């Protein structure tokens, strides 16, 4: 089973901003200073996007390539898949996703009245959800 990564959707004010970022790129990628140690295990996994303290979407990781300035590019499939929101604290850079990943939303399925990430995180820590 491939490993998954998480990353903050930095600068995105709304989920639509993440969608627009994807729509503007034919082959989306992220640059990072360091390639993951377990990078080969991440190929075929997904990069899960965190927005407003919740994991909200994922993109399949196609590979890693070194850029001309010595940084690394995480090459992503040009498809953004919405997932059931899951509370997740913010962090810098990327991190390995621990535990089972959130499941994808089925076609036509809506997230409905999902709790905001901060509130869901607090209720989860209290053992209420």
One-character DSSP codes across 2-51: ---EEEE-TT-SSHHHHHHHHHT-SS-EEEESS--TTHHHHTTSEEEEEE
User: Which range marks the domain in which residue 106 is found?
Assistant: 5-125
Q: How confident is the model at residue 115 (pLDDT cuts 50, 70, 90)?
A: low
- Say if residue 87 is exposed, middle or buried (CB neighbours under 10 Å; 0-12, 13-18, 19+): buried
Residues 42-64: b if buried by 16+ CB within 10 A, e if exposed: beebbbbbbbebbbbbbbbbbeb
Model confidence, pTM: 0.82
Number of structural domains (the chain) is 1
Segment 20-42 mean pLDDT? 89
Q: How confident is the model at residue 113 (pLDDT cuts 50, 70, 90)?
A: very low
């Amino acid at each position: 089973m491939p490993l998954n990564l998480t990353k903050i959707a930095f600068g995105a004010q709304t989920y639509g901003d993440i969608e627009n970022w994807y729509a503007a790129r034919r082959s989306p990628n992220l640059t990072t200073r360091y390639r993951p140690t377990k990078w080969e295990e991440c190929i075929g996994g997904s990069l899960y996007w965190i927005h407003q303290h919740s994991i909200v979407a994922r993109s399949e990781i196609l590979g890693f390539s070194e850029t001309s300035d010595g940084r690394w590019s995480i090459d992503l499939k040009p498809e953004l898949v919405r997932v059931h929101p899951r509370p997740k604290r913010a962090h810098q850079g990327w991190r390995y996703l621990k535990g089972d990943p959130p499941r994808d939303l089925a076609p036509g399925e809506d997230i409905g009245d999902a709790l905001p990430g901060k509130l869901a995180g607090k209720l989860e820590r209290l053992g209420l959800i």
